[in-house]
Amino acid sequence: MRVDVNVGLPRCGCAPEDAGRIADLARRRGLSVRGVMGYEGHVMPIAERAKRAEACAAAMAKLRVAHELAGGDVVSAGGTGTFDVNEYATEIQAGSYSLMDTYYAERELPFRPAFFVWSTVVSANAVYAVCDAGLKSLGMDHGNPRIDGAKVWFCSDEHVTFSTDAEAAAPLAPKVGDRVRVWPAHVDPTLAYHARLHLADGDAIVDAWEIDLRGW
């Protein structure tokens, strides 16, 4: 087991100074303590890399205290946003990097977005257009999704309302029936809304993967 430690994000996890007591209790009950785990999720929103590194180091100072008290070989921490600035963890908990989202794309990380919701334009006029994705298709806790060449106005239950971005390198001129790529701001909850992923090579669908998160 690993002792879960609160390093600044108030979710699960003990206070750093309690890690040794919890580890000793686990050992007395026959468990093997492999180390400690902490997640500096509160650091991920910091856009500037230097400030993100500074805040990550402060979180890891708390985990260092816990590790010294609990023992073990594993220090599990980090995520997509801090994978390259976390200098203490021996195991990085990054996951979003594999598909990415627009939230992490703003952090200038060396990963390319690979996941979008394929949506159909169902209404269009001279001012704006509407496609058939929305709150029931997209994780919205990190803000609106992105549509390349367009300005997203807002999302409703089943729709995204957007307009052409005339200043974009390739302004979108949507027509009813067009398919648009809606890039979510938060990949994890977006995946949980869908039954499967379709893998594409260019325009060709080459495989489909079932998603087992529905109903969580």
DSSP letter for each residue of 72-84:
-SEEEE--TTTTT
Numbered ranges of CATH 3.20.20.10 in the chain: 2-94
**Which DSSP state fits 59?**
H
Numbered ranges of CATH 2.40.37.20 in the chain: 117-210
CA–CA gap between residue 207 and residue 189 (Å, rounded): 22
What would the CATH number be for the domain defined by 2-94? 3.20.20.10
pTM of the predicted model, to two decimals?
0.88
Least Cα distance to 144 among 154, 157, 136, 159 occurs for 154
| pLDDT score for 214 | 64
Q: Is the pLDDT of residue 75 over 90?
A: yes
Confidence of residue 203 (pLDDT cuts 50, 70, 90): confident
Distances (CA, A) of 11 to 4, 73, 110, 151: 10, 24, 28, 35
What would the CATH number be for the domain defined by 117-210? 2.40.37.20
Q: What is the mean pLDDT of residues 34-40?
A: 97
| pLDDT score for 60 | 98
Beta strands (DSSP E) in 40-93 are 74-77, 91-92
| pLDDT score for 86 | 97
Confidence of residue 216 (pLDDT cuts 50, 70, 90): low
Least confidently predicted of 70-79, 96-105, 206-215: 206-215
- How does strand 74-77 pair with strand 35-37? parallel
Confidence of residue 131 (pLDDT cuts 50, 70, 90): very high
Q: Are 184 and 190 in contact (CB under 8 A)?
A: yes
Tens of pLDDT, residue by residue over 147-190, are 999 999 999 999 999 999 999 999 999 999 999 999 999 999 99
